[in-house]
Structure 1
Amino acid sequence: VPVKVEPKVFFANERTFLAWLHVSVILAGASVAIVAFSDARAATPDQLYGIILLPVSIAFILYAMIQYSRRATMIRRKSPGPYVDIAGPTVLTVILMLSIVAQFTIKLYTLM
């Protein structure tokens, strides 16, 4: 029995991809803004904050691209799944939280 894949399934995959890209663009924008508005001549770790956030935003972009292409391939092949990824968002959240904690730790260390 041939399985019919409705167009809304492809659109849902694209919406999810765009949502992940939205988050990564916000992180990258914050990273660039922090670096751009920090004083390059001063010996403060402000630029380090932006530099720490940039790889995190790149990780979000890579995850979004990999998941989108994996799910699109599964949809085209009419694979039964699973389409859910629990580990990826958890790992990205932990990485983001560690980068934020690292930034606060650096800031506290420089204030002392």
Structure 2
Amino acid sequence: MATHLRIHLGKERELYEHPPLVPAAEQARVFTAPDWADAHLLRMLAPANHVGFLLQLGYFQISQRFYVATRYHAADIAYVAQQVGLGADDFAAARFIMPTSSSSVSNWASAGSRRPPQTGSTRRPCA
């Protein structure tokens, strides 16, 4: 059986490699920390890591993909940084590195982040 791999070129590839655009009206829903994330957030020493974690989690919930932090959208960074009590400039995307071991990524990614948020769920604003 032959398998065909579609290779994205140009604009398609560019769109695929960047996180989805989140409208301002949806940022509160997308970038809200679920209760299960509290333990992960408490272990992060630098508040800027909270920003990176919440952005990566929000983008993952939308697209089921992880993205390079240097490609996060400025409006999303500003929104999440404000929620955590930082300025947008306090988050250095080049210094934010997601855990790379398969166990640490799968642990937090499978802890409930794949479920879409529901009305009346236990999600709460981050900070």
TM-score, structure 2 length as denominator? 0.25
TM-score, structure 1 length as denominator? 0.28
Larger radius of gyration: 1
Question: Between Structure 1 and Structure 2, which shows a larger proportion of helix residues?
Answer: 1
